[in-house]
Structure 1
């Protein structure tokens, strides 16, 4: 949970964090079909699980996917992805972006009752694909998800999201979408900030920070989301611009900010850069190098499913590196 400018908001001697969670299954990949948003108390370097954030069957989807939480110290607005449709028999990949609000409480309950979820932005079918409900393999489905809120230093409220281009209907047509809040409080669709038509299918969990007078845009993607013939690793990628609307330049000349080591290509994912340049992430599969091993029972036992140790970035203009001691 953060302020509108992106800094973690202090709560009960620590911070409130949100993450997807799912019941334990023999196959960890089942989590994508049953995930829900949970909240955690980060205090003393540890994460204490507090429970599911929304009541069961509260949101319009059959499960919830990623988003972000913003607070002014009194109210909390949670932007999230409602995936599938409530009550559906077979999980679909319909993705819609909603927001709900509650009062922040100084108790372990954390929130008052949530307001009814409201759909805050929709794909238009012209710039952003509105056909993403079909079943399919993870990494190949089309997207409209992962809302990330940011208020720029110039006072612009924007909502970034993972989307698929309606103009470039390639098998790999990922974009980072943007909507800006107007004078009536509504988010209005803008052109994508970054597009990867012909290059990559999923630019996931986009988020923006401002540092040293520049805007830095970050996202995560996986090796298998790149088009055939492109040998690029699972990692955190980024771009830099002088303001929200660009033009954007890929960090380090190629976009890659950090990647899993070659000996541990699946160990971490879903990175999030905070304004102090610390980087959180998610432990995926550790201790295996072969992608096929994840599909075997012994490989599935290597699933982490928890917060990863934090890293620290350094930013210098168009260059992003890990700080000393984090290599």
Structure 2
């Protein structure tokens, strides 16, 4: 039976269940177009790129920068096994200009962040100050990668393009010392993340993204796992609020997927048509046994962050990868103009019966995917330019 999470938050927790996802069988389901060879444009021969996000304003819209936009993404050296990239992940930044991404380099100095790796986050520009929120994975200097996850932010200012010529083309001034954000206290959100160490089974406290409500209250969304009733499938979309003294108060989750899904990744909110839309990514392999739901972008809608939240399309699925290409893209990020960024994962499989991801480099994209575009109408979403099936 569903047990409410305390009484620290006046909002409603959205319970996402197998019964909701059973509506997928009634269709139709929107599916992304198939990635073709010409769509896979590498930004570098030396690095793989995956989870990405822009330097955005308070509403999530990319800010103009040097004739284009400034984007961040996780990157790692090209390895024989692409799955090993997570153990080498660093945040890099890119110039998106004229429809292409130009690699500018690692964002933080070596050894600057508190973990052994840097995982996903978000970035905003407010009052001239860049705030980059990120996940510190593991411990700095550890001999073997561990999976403790902590949420941090660091701030800086952008260097004027004219001045950058005198600073070797640098983009950022010196970063502030990383400051920890919300902390899991094993009351709502677990602080024990190692699990088995296998992808899809690691517990979560990662992917920080900010949202400012009307009146200025600042909230932090994140991927989390349940502390009150831990299990193999206990994923949550967590929420915290910044208090007047600058500290963070953990609130009950926005979405509770206990018994349904283990990882509701990279949650973020945009505003469209006077409503708030919450989006997250998840994979078919992390749904509980007996739930047949695809890898895809999922979402919910509400009038305010406190809810009540309603699943988009009745089941939550916004769109999925093609049936014949079930792993082709992942880690979708929706912008307020309803364009959708992602990265090219394993593509070119052309096998409707595929169950497991292919091994090795031959099918791994490791680069930015072509942008897609949504249409939203209340609790309904449409993937533009492709028919539902």
Taking structure 1 as the reference length, the TM-score comes to: 0.96
User: Which of 269, 281, 284 is matched with 2:330 structurally?
Assistant: 269
Cα distance in 2 between the residues matched to 1:183 and 1:113:
27
User: Which of 84, 97, 102 is matched with 1:30 structurally?
Assistant: 84
Q: Report the equivalent of 1:57.
A: 111
Cα distance in 2 between the residues matched to 1:227 and 1:24:
32
Q: Report the equivalent of 2:197.
A: 136
* Conservation of the 8 A alpha-carbon contact between 2:325 and 2:348: yes
* Conservation of the 8 A alpha-carbon contact between 2:346 and 2:357: no
* Conservation of the 8 A alpha-carbon contact between 1:92 and 1:135: no
Q: Deviations over 1:204-248 (max 9, x none)?
A: 000001111111100000000100010000000001111101111
Distance apart, 1:145 and its partner CA: 0.2
Q: Report the equivalent of 1:294.
A: 358
Cα distance in 1 between the residues matched to 2:178 and 2:355:
38
Taking structure 2 as the reference length, the TM-score comes to: 0.81
Distance apart, 1:153 and its partner CA: 3.7
CA RMSD of aligned residues (A): 1.4
SS of 1:30's equivalent in the other structure is helix
* Conservation of the 8 A alpha-carbon contact between 1:162 and 1:206: yes
- Which structure 2 residue ranges, 5 or more long, are not aligned? 1-54, 162-168
Q: Is the deviation greater in 162-171 or in 25-34?
A: 162-171
Q: Is the deviation greater in 317-326 or in 55-64?
A: 317-326
Distance apart, 1:106 and its partner CA: 2.6
Cα distance in 1 between the residues matched to 2:195 and 2:106:
27
Mapping of residues 210-289 of structure 1, within 5 Å: 210-288=271-349, 289=351
SS of 1:224's equivalent in the other structure is helix
- Which structure 1 residue ranges, 5 or more long, are not aligned? none
> Judging changes above 3 Å, is the alpha-carbon distance between structure 1 residues 326 and 118 closer, same or farther for their aligned structure 2 residues?
farther
- Which structure is richer in relative contact order (CA contacts within 8 A, separation 6 or more)? 2
Mapping of residues 4-15 of structure 1, within 5 Å: 4-15=58-69
Cα distance in 1 between the residues matched to 2:66 and 2:160:
7
Distance apart, 1:155 and its partner CA: 2.4
Structure number with greater Rg is 2
Query: How many residues in Structure 1 have an aligned counterpart in Structure 2?
Result: 324
SS of 2:181's equivalent in the other structure is strand
Distance apart, 1:169 and its partner CA: 1.3
> Judging changes above 3 Å, is the alpha-carbon distance between structure 1 residues 159 and 254 closer, same or farther for their aligned structure 2 residues?
same
